[in-house]
Copies of this chain bind each other. A is one copy, B any other.
Amino acid sequence: MPELRRDPVIDRWVIIATERGKRPSDFGSAQPRKRGGFCPFCYGNESLTPPEILAFRRPGTEPNKPGWLTRVVSNKFPALKIEGELEKVGEGMYDKMSGIGAHEVIIETPEHDATMGTMDKLYVVNTLKAYRERIIDLARDKRFKYVMVFKNYGEAAGASLEHPHSQLIATPIVPKRVLEELHGSQRYFSYKDRCVFCDMVRQELKDEVRLVLTSDNFVVFEAYASRFPFETWLLPRKHMPKYEHMGDDLIEELAEVLQRTIRKLELTLSYPPYNYIIHTAPLREPDDLEYYHWHIEIIPRLTKMAGFEWGTGFYINPTPPEEAAKYLREAEEGKVEEVAAANVH
């Protein structure tokens, strides 16, 4: 059983995957893994993943057989285990709890070579709906306090399989970064009586210099205090604390906005590795939380300077967000060749 351990100084929980137990020799090679033609997420290999939890399928097709469009399964190598009691114990001065949780994979499309910027919009819509359905379902399990939804694209961003997929992890604790955002936005609210994210949306729409794109209900911009080059945030314009409160119409619109944003990053940076993470209010917070506002943070993985930053929480970003925004605003389908050529140097 994996363990959740708390740092004794700062309020950070870490999953210690006791069963995996990676040994020194497992880290030996820094080379990308060789990948044969085989992919467990492709049509015909459904029996090689755990059975599907949720699937969008063509009419008349059977579960765990081809014919699906988007498919959610448990992670075959989960970081946390779904079975068992949530036990909290001390270990000398330290605190730990049993590694209870859910770890699921959202297989976004049957098309192995698609990217989120190039796949049919239908798959993006399904994927975003799957996130919502799974959060709503997992919230029923009283052991869980948070569902983290994220996507790793590319080896350098931590993806171990090429086939387009996202992941979610349901946890019995609220992750540190989310706690910090809650505290920070609460502090802002108690001072200004306004949501800091609503203020940010207004500020970015007014300043324009960091805007990437807008739609009726969403705004995409480069964060003012971007930690990383091309760090891109996507927010709903109207106050909304939880991702899972979106209706189908809003999800359709979000799919288009997210896809256009990713496409702009793909064109500008030649299919960079990236992570995106959905930041949403914890499951047990009230549905009408005044001071928190869900959003997506997209982080291309372009620099290698991270170690120092990890240790200090102090980032050096070599690309001003205002410049990054200019590139992203201009990136359009017709300009692909041009940008690709520029990257040859």
Contact = CB atoms under 8 A, between A and B. Distances in A.
Interface of A: 5-18, 20-25, 27-28, 30, 79, 91-94, 148, 150, 152, 155-158, 169, 171, 175-178, 180-181, 183-185, 188, 196-197, 199-200, 203, 206-207, 223-227, 229-230, 268-270, 272-275, 277, 279, 297, 299, 301-308, 310-321, 323, 327, 339, 342-345
Contact of A10 (B79, B180, B224, B226): B180
B308 A152 contact: yes
B225 A184 contact: no
B175 A343 contact: no
A88 to B, nearest CB: 15
Contact of A196 (B8, B13, B158, B272): B8
B319 A21 contact: yes
A162 to B, nearest CB: 15
Nearest to A297: B311
A122 to B, nearest CB: 26
- Which of A180, A274, A313: most chain B CB closer than 10 A? A313
A194 to B, nearest CB: 10
A332 to B, nearest CB: 14
Contacts of A318: 17, 20-22
Contacts of A79: 316
B94 A224 contact: yes
Given A23-B323, A150-B312, A277-B311, 13 more contacts: A11-B184, A15-B317, A16-B321, A21-B319, A24-B327, A91-B224, A92-B206, A150-B308, A158-B308, A177-B311, A178-B312, A275-B307, A306-B310
A14 B317 contact: yes
B268 A158 contact: no
Count of this chain's copies in the oligomeric assembly: 2
Nearest to A171: B314
B9 A308 contact: no
A40 to B, nearest CB: 19
A205 to B, nearest CB: 11
Given A310-B275, A316-B15, A343 B28 contact: yes
Nearest to A229: B22
A275 B8 CA distance: 22
A132 B328 CA distance: 45
Contacts of A203: 92-94
A220 to B, nearest CB: 17
6 nearest CB pairs, A to B: A275-B307, A176-B313, A277-B311, A177-B313, A28-B343, A175-B314
B94 A274 contact: no
A16 B15 CA distance: 32
Nearest to A293: B9
A311 B150 contact: yes
A5 B306 contact: no
A223 B230 CA distance: 33
5 contacts: A5-B225, A17-B317, A152-B307, A158-B308, A299-B310
Given A200-B93, A345-B25, A312 B9 contact: no
Given A203-B93, A225-B94, A319-B22, A157 B307 contact: yes
